[in-house]
Amino acid sequence: MARFKDIYLDRRIPSYPIVASPRWNTDLITLNSGAESANQNWSQPFYVFTIPEAIRSMEVYETIMAHWMVVGGPAYTFPFKNPMDFASRSLNIPNQTPNITPTDQVIGTGDGNKINYQITKAYQRGSFVHYREIYLPVVNTVRVALNGVEQFSGFTVNRTTGIITFSAPPTSGTVVTCGYLYDENVRFESDDTFDAISRNYGIAGYSDLTLVQVPIC
């Protein structure tokens, strides 16, 4: 996380409406029989976020420029809330924070020895589940429960790794759950991103803003 600077875009920059596109990297191979084989190269998708017409005033243009300078264009990453997916439970309305509870997501079962638990989120359709490891949790929103009983002390939350560390290991069979809000780790698109912003704003009086997610390994 040497590239990460924990500084949000200015609140005057809108984050919604947005086009949030999760992308996979998949090799599709057509066999001699005509059948198709697929090889999924990534275990998790990465997102590209496009905010249409985000820059509509000189005030917003200047704060984008300041952020661009602070993070060195695409050199450093920074946190960004995806208004379509930023909580431990489903959203009723985009960009509106739902009621987080400490039992939203099951993140493990105690064995009497383990003290570190990775925050995860389950995406489920029927019997099929995709688990996503969550990084950049908003620390002061994280709520933790053991066997359904909320804990108010005895653990810490790592902002960058999304790991909850207990001061004492949960006993064997204890169900560990949590609820949370989280950010995405993003960067500006490329070194010439600001050229396009300046050109479009100068011509049309507005400009889109595109941010690219950077996976945390």
Going by C-alpha positions, the residue among 54, 3, 5, 45 that lies closest to residue 26 is: 45
pLDDT tens track of the chain, all 217 residues?
689 999 999 999 999 999 999 999 999 999 999 999 999 999 999 999 999 999 999 999 999 999 999 999 999 999 999 999 999 999 999 999 999 999 999 999 999 999 999 999 999 999 999 999 999 999 999 999 999 999 999 999 999 999 999 999 999 999 999 999 999 999 999 999 999 999 999 999 999 999 999 998 7
Going by C-alpha positions, the residue among 12, 8, 7, 11 that lies closest to residue 57 is: 12
Strand partners, 28: 38
82 Cβ partners below 8 Å, 6+ apart? 18, 20, 47, 49, 184
Distance, in Å, from the CA atom of 98 to the CA atom of 84, rounded to the nearest integer, reads: 12
Q: Which two tokens stand for residue 37?
A: 């084989």
Buried residues in 83-97 as b, exposed as e (16+ CB within 10 A): bbbbbbeeeeeeeee
Q: Is 194 exposed, middle or buried (0-12, 13-18, 19+ CB in 10 A)?
A: middle
Omega cis (within 30) before 17 = yes
Distance, in Å, from the CA atom of 145 to the CA atom of 138, rounded to the nearest integer, reads: 17
Segments making up each domain of the chain, as ranges: 1-85+184-217, 87-182
Going by C-alpha positions, the residue among 203, 198, 194 that lies closest to residue 67 is: 194
67 Cβ partners below 8 Å, 6+ apart? 7, 9, 10, 78
Q: Residue 2: its pLDDT value, please?
A: 85
Q: Residue 1: its pLDDT value, please?
A: 64
Q: Residue 216: its pLDDT value, please?
A: 85
